[in-house]
Amino acid sequence: MLNRYARAFFTAIFTPTARVLLKMRVSPDAVTLVGTLGVIAGALCFFPRGSFFVGTLVITAFVFSDLIDGTMARMAGRKDKFGAFWDSTLDRLGDAAIFGGLAYWFARGGDQPVLFGVCLACLSLGAVVSYARARAEGLGVDANVGIVERGERLVGALVATGLDGLGLPYVQAITLWAIAIGSFVTLVQRVMLVRRELLKGEAVA
CB neighbour list of residue 177: distance below 8 Å, 6 or more residues apart: 118
CB neighbour list of residue 27: distance below 8 Å, 6 or more residues apart: none
| Of residues 21, 16, 100, the one with CA closest to residue 55 | 100
| Of residues 10, 15, 18, the one with CA closest to residue 60 | 10
| Of residues 5, 3, 11, 151, the one with CA closest to residue 71 | 11
Positions annotated as catalytic residues are 91
d(CA 154, CA 167): 20
CB neighbour list of residue 44: distance below 8 Å, 6 or more residues apart: 97, 100, 101
